[in-house]
Structure 1
């Protein structure tokens, strides 16, 4: 036993020495931006995570710009990889404009392991084909013809079932349930309460492991997330096999014949190649995550701001009531109605400026290149940070002030300074889905209720998505009919 312990200690010490030597050699690379790699393996990951937990994710970037005196770029190590943080609109512009030329999409090990082979983890022609195929389902044209009325119907049912008759409720938990059930309905035609509850529980565990150190040992959040991802895929694979059989036999229900699952099973590239069932499961896992977690966060934070700013709430209510008055009793929303929600979308845009749904994303250098006088080596990772750009005084006046008027008229005129959905060829394909989802929900909740916050000045934590610490408990006040 003692001999085994000595061997283990020797192995650990050797590993630490090797990593330290590698770290030292990396730090000696010439002409890199200034910065620090922090501890071996851990790097500065804890500082990044802690800033999010404290509710100030921009602090990580702002402190290092000030410390290293480099407003355009600095080096660091995050989640096990050395990388350069590209700061501000200039950094965003460089990365978005050079996609598949100097840089390509990349995600840290936890993301790659959890999501597997899917749209966000592949590159090149395969990624272009997959993006094109998914966009044919998630495009504005598709929403204009199919989904506005469906979303409105689902939302009305949710409001009637879970909001009416309640004096108080927890916004985040209630909206999360709604957004997940909506995504499952539209993507999978899945409405079984038991299956929905099981998937929702697994996704809550999955979410916590996405931005974590990839320590895959029992007890860690990453380990639990990997287990949850496996269980989600198992459930999805069962649904995929059942749907394939139904399509082959011609017994698929009419609703499911137009959902995302059937679309992926029946679509091929120009050479007749189809996605494998495992690839379909991975992409549905991705879209279920993106289709409900980010929307839930944004809707919750919008409701927080509307409660804090009654004047803004009244303007939103006025706009939504004008839309309602122009419709027949019981008539569902149409795509044209969504286009009339201009002020409401300005409010949404300002909330996403202050609290973007995703605080940043990653790229990888395909070749050595020069940026801002520095040399970025091939293979290095790059990080752009939406929230620090959105809270840069050089881009927005009174950055902490909630002011939807910023987006009136021409709106934000400086390119690449407002990037809640990313930019360039890798801009989030779910942008229109999120826009429609958020506006339809706000129309229904605002025309039915006003509300008070039960926890004023509730802290917003990022873990990894921005969420009020207690879930935004509110007291509801139904409008008098």
Structure 2
């Protein structure tokens, strides 16, 4: 009897395993290798991005393994999925199955209460508070102020110069716009102090999370701590001004968030959420817009017919203004062709290479198992450069966006998609159009650097896109 019980106890796990396998192939892991624990394929991907072969790296992986594969990225087992259906799954999936979680390095540097980390209800609460400031109806009143920031930037950094390195200058411009409009920081010395620490902070966001003194990750963590201390002080000052009625609720994004109340008259957004989301806005608004403006200038210089069409549209607007009169909301509405050029730039050179989600439970996807706790990785270029979706994808053709309805859903994703689309996309549109207006109407330029760029993790053109510039005679 004892032998029979022992035999049953031995055979039971085997029988259960065989039964589990017979339930179907939907429970098998995707093809691919997890590689070395923690490191996995992280070094290979980062090396490919820094040699401008990141797109080739993910496409070769897709050709080898198909629409889903497993690997290890930035310390965690990961599943790579791609295509329109994958994008829809990522951006519009069931919130009980997939969470909006980033890599551990991003989470450690930006904090765990930003919009990239929050679940459904918390995400909606914080996003709604953000949108009360970032919706078009609210941003209309800030076009003139943004125009002033661009004019001042050109006067300080472009006038009298024969050559300029565009990307570093655009990063200064977009950071100053963020400081002014979103944070209410007007003193140049305070802005420069923020910028120095901020730039060091973002260098290690896509990195292997090894906290050793010589790593980029460790340097970024230390810079993040300094930035958070500065922001805490800034938020506290704004709290005091609101209490003393020395500031208005919509003076800037921080005062707006501090002023938001729920139905019980309690703060809608906590101090920690304000702090972490300010850091997210700093990263998103600083890097994405500066990259977009830079690569628009690069692509305009290589496509004369497109440049002439943009120039004509912008000069028509300039001629309708009095001397020194700032741009207004109505002027932006006339920049339809220029924004199509911007969207085609975003298609060909998306600032965000890809992103991550977290499986909250075991998921059957494409005939395979995505285990609970694994990362889900997606890459923008997989649909942006798909010749079935965008014929001749290597050709720069703004006409693709003449009719937005002709672009298939979840195929063009520079700002994400679905309920988690970037809340700052309208802000980015405004600052891009205002900057391009002044640059194309005030200067002509030609490329002085080669045509290469790398990703670190954002696109960085050779020599920061070095241009020889010449001021135009004002008509």
TM-score (normalizing by structure 1)? 0.89
Seen in structure 2, the aligned counterparts of structure 1 residues 310 and 141 have a Cα distance that, compared at 3 Å, is: same
Deviation readout 1:42-92 (Å, 9 max, x if unpaired):
011112111210113212221111222x1x211111101111111111210
The structure with more radius of gyration:
2
Deviation readout 1:426-466 (Å, 9 max, x if unpaired):
11111111111101100111111110111132x21111111
- For residue 213 of structure 2, the aligned residue among 212, 218, 225 is 218
Q: Distance in 1 between matches of 2:288 and 2:109?
A: 17
Q: Distance in 1 between matches of 2:292 and 2:472?
A: 24
- For residue 81 of structure 1, the aligned residue among 72, 76, 79 is 76
Q: Distance in 2 between matches of 1:361 and 1:420?
A: 11
Which residue does 2:256 correspond to in 1? 263
- For residue 297 of structure 1, the aligned residue among 291, 295, 305 is 291
**1:269 Cα shift?**
2.5
Q: Distance in 1 between matches of 2:406 and 2:53?
A: 23
Which residue does 1:368 correspond to in 2? 362
Seen in structure 2, the aligned counterparts of structure 1 residues 81 and 107 have a Cα distance that, compared at 3 Å, is: same
Which residue does 1:131 correspond to in 2? 127
What is the aligned length?
448
- For residue 39 of structure 1, the aligned residue among 24, 36, 52 is 36
Does residue 479 of the first structure (1) align with residue 475 of the second (2)? no
Contact 1:79 1:212 in 2 (8 A): yes
Q: Distance in 2 between matches of 1:436 and 1:388?
A: 27
- For residue 401 of structure 2, the aligned residue among 400, 407, 414 is 407
Runs (5+) with no aligned partner, structure 1: 1-27
Seen in structure 2, the aligned counterparts of structure 1 residues 56 and 389 have a Cα distance that, compared at 3 Å, is: farther
- For residue 332 of structure 1, the aligned residue among 292, 309, 326 is 326
Contact 1:58 1:391 in 2 (8 A): no
**Map 1:109-258 → 2, pairs under 5 A:** 109-116=104-111, 117-144=113-140, 146-252=141-247, 258=251
Secondary structure of 1:148's counterpart equals: helix
Deviation readout 1:337-390 (Å, 9 max, x if unpaired):
112111111111111111111111111223323222222222222111102221
Does residue 434 of the first structure (1) align with residue 428 of the second (2)? yes
Q: Distance in 2 between matches of 1:153 and 1:88?
A: 42
Deviation readout 1:298-352 (Å, 9 max, x if unpaired):
1111111111222211110001111122233322212121121111111111111
Q: Distance in 1 between matches of 2:367 and 2:295?
A: 39
Q: Distance in 1 between matches of 2:109 and 2:411?
A: 30
Which residue does 1:13 correspond to in 2? none
Q: Distance in 2 between matches of 1:194 and 1:97?
A: 42
Secondary structure of 1:106's counterpart equals: coil
Seen in structure 2, the aligned counterparts of structure 1 residues 30 and 277 have a Cα distance that, compared at 3 Å, is: closer
Contact 1:110 1:214 in 2 (8 A): yes
Contact 1:412 1:418 in 2 (8 A): no
**1:289 Cα shift?**
1.4
TM-score (normalizing by structure 2)? 0.91
**1:412 Cα shift?**
4.5
**Map 1:4-83 → 2, pairs under 5 A:** 30-68=27-65, 70=66, 72-83=67-78
Runs (5+) with no aligned partner, structure 2: 1-24
Seen in structure 2, the aligned counterparts of structure 1 residues 273 and 112 have a Cα distance that, compared at 3 Å, is: farther
Deviation readout 1:208-252 (Å, 9 max, x if unpaired):
110000111111000000000000011111111112112212233
CA RMSD of aligned residues (A): 1.8
Runs of 4+ in structure 1 off by over 6 angstroms are none
